[in-house]
Amino acid sequence: MQGLLFSGHDTLELATKYGTPLYVMSEDIILERIRGLKNAFEKTGANYEINFAGKAFTNKAMCKIIKNEGICLDAVSKGELMTALAVGFPPENISFHGNNKKESELRYALEHHIGHIMVDNEDELSLIDKLTKEMNTEIEISFRISPGISAHTHELIQTATEDSKFGLPYALAEDIVVRADQYEKISVVGLHCHIGSQIVDDEPFVLAAKKMMSLYKKIKDRGVALRMLNLGGGFGIPYLTGDEYFDPVTYIPQMVKRIRDLCDDFEMDMPTLIVEPGRYFTAEAGVTLYTIGAVKEIPGIKTYVTVDGGMNDNPRPALYGAEYEAYVCNPKDHEDFKPYAVSGKACETDGLIEKVNLNQPKVGDILMIPNTGAYNYTMASNYNRYPRPAVVLLSGKRDGIIVRRETDEDVLRYDEIPEWL
């Protein structure tokens, strides 16, 4: 009996073959997104770069997909850098981000000739100065700037308000960037901002682009050879049917035009324009499959459907109040949708969905939660000592493991007993 399809594959077969909970990713959807965005840029004739924000979904296979598509990577840790380099990702196409990079991480990046460092603050700059001299190596950097803009999104994923831990405060940035250009082995080539995540209207992006362009012009006028403007990621996706979303394919040509017009006004060359989406490429390319373990009615209140995962594999509802839909994958001989709450198996109130209409969920059925391809696998935990799920990649008719399921032994792997116990 065929179950619900995802990206042309029977979810029931996938659940039987690989077990649950299971992250399923569609390479076809990821490629469609990447190519759509590339195409939108190509049509404008502007110089551009696309950096995939690895924090949304990083592992070796994803780095290979990104590499095969010839786009760049935004990495935020030595772990992400190592993952990319392990599959032969060209180091020159990697930007190293982070608001508190450790000396060992910077050293690793310089040793491995990572193309670009996104500098967050002056202390980091001094450290890079010290390391480049010590290691006798050169590096191109951009500065992350906080343009002081409140994007309309959850406050925990706003990243460029005036009160932000990220980047140089806008008011101080000009002088700091100009001063940084004096360092012997550091070339300051760009400015960067990222105003937040899951943003669905273009107004904050337009505002940020304007503010960044005006800063870019002032800094260029003071003799710094800037050539790159990175406007970050943050493109919001529709988590629920009918949700508003951001369509970068429509937005990119408008953004390029605005920036081109500003450059004409300023009599300045167009910078290379960079965007850095994470969620947009992978969120809708992923679903999570669970097995239903219990259907519990609390008379007069609600009925809980409990699944074999929860906040361990998807902490977003608990962290951000994120909302999801769900579908029973097993075929039913008639339709009888009723409201249910979907909760996980963690030892706390780890509701995944407060209320969703489901068609006769039964113990043993497979439940699919869509749009879980970004910030789920990468934010998963071993809370309650549960092993993390496997990740399966679908490509056309093929399916294959890209991250194996953790075993119970894996969970115990790092434990040590000191000699006095």
Binding to ligand LLP by residue 388, rule CB under 6 A? no
User: Candidates 6-14, 30-38, 232-240, 289-297 — which segment interacts with ligand LLP by CB under 6 A?
Assistant: 232-240
Q: How far is the CB of 76 from ligand LLP (least distance, A)?
A: 8
* Nearest by Cα to 257 from 225, 203, 209: 209
Query: Three-state DSSP class for 241?
Result: coil
Which residues make Cβ contacts (< 8 Å) with residue 301, sequence separation at least 6? none
- Asked if residue 80 binds ligand LLP (CB under 6 A), the reply is no
Give the integer Cα–Cα distance in Å for 48 and 50.
7
Nearest CB to ligand LLP, comparing residues 183 and 320 = 320
Active site residue 329: no
Q: What is the DSSP letter of 366?
A: E
Q: Which residues pair with 139 in a beta bridge?
A: 186
193 binds ligand LLP per the rule CB under 6 A: no
Which segment (65-73, 275-283, 329-337, 381-389) binds ligand LLP by CB under 6 A?
A: 275-283
Q: Which is nearer to ligand LLP, 319 or 411 (CB)?
A: 319
| Residue 317 touching ligand LLP (CB under 6 A) | no
| Cβ-contact 415, 352 below 8 angstroms | no
Of 280, 290, 324, 386, the residue at the interface with ligand LLP (CB under 6 A) is 280
Q: Which of 193, 263, 329, 347 is catalytic?
A: 347
User: Which has the closest alpha carbon to 374: 7, 19, 21, 25?
Assistant: 25
Q: Number of residues in contact with ligand LLP, rule: CB under 6 A? A: 23
Stretch that binds ligand LLP, among 29-37, 77-85, 231-239, 348-356 (CB under 6 A): 231-239
Helical pair 170-180 and 203-221, crossing angle rounded to 10 deg? 40
Q: How far is CA 66 from CA 17, 58, 73, 83, 340, in A?
A: 27, 10, 8, 12, 38
Tell which one of 3, 190, 204, 234 touches ligand LLP (CB under 6 A).
234
The DSSP symbol for 363 reads T
Using CB under 6 A as the binding rule, whether residue 276 contacts ligand LLP is answered as yes
Q: Does 157 bind ligand LLP (CB under 6 A)?
A: yes
Nearer to ligand LLP, 32 or 399 (CB): 32
53 binds ligand LLP per the rule CB under 6 A? yes
Q: Least distance to ligand LLP from the beta carbon of 144, Å?
A: 7
Q: Which of 93, 132, 198, 343 binds ligand LLP (CB under 6 A)?
A: 198
Under rule CB under 6 A, residue 12 binds ligand LLP? no
Q: How far apart are CA 122 and CA 94, in angstroms?
A: 22
Told to check if 288 binds ligand LLP by CB under 6 A, we report no
Site for ligand LLP in 321-360 (CB under 6 A): none
DSSP state of 416: -
Q: Is 74 an interacting residue with respect to ligand LLP (CB under 6 A)?
A: yes
Phi-psi region of 234 (alpha: psi -120 to 50; beta: other; left: phi over 0): left
For residue 225 the two structure tokens come to 């050879």
52 neighbors 63 (Cβ within 8 angstroms)? no
| CA 33/CA 39 separation, integer angstroms | 10
- Residue 66's SS3 state is helix
Q: Does 233 bind ligand LLP (CB under 6 A)?
A: yes
Which is it for the CA torsion 215, 217, 218, 223, positive or negative?
positive
Q: Which is nearer to ligand LLP, 20 or 158 (CB)?
A: 158
Token pair recorded at residue 232: 């970050």
Tokens (6 digits) for 242: 């009918």
Residue from 205, 235, 340, 386 that binds ligand LLP (CB under 6 A)? 235
Query: 127 or 200: whose CB is closer to ligand LLP?
Result: 200
Q: Which of 116, 316, 345, 388 binds ligand LLP (CB under 6 A)?
A: 316
Give residues in contact with ligand LLP (CB under 6 A): 53, 55-56, 74, 97, 157, 159, 194, 197-198, 232-235, 276-280, 316, 320, 374-375
Q: Which residues are catalytic?
A: 347
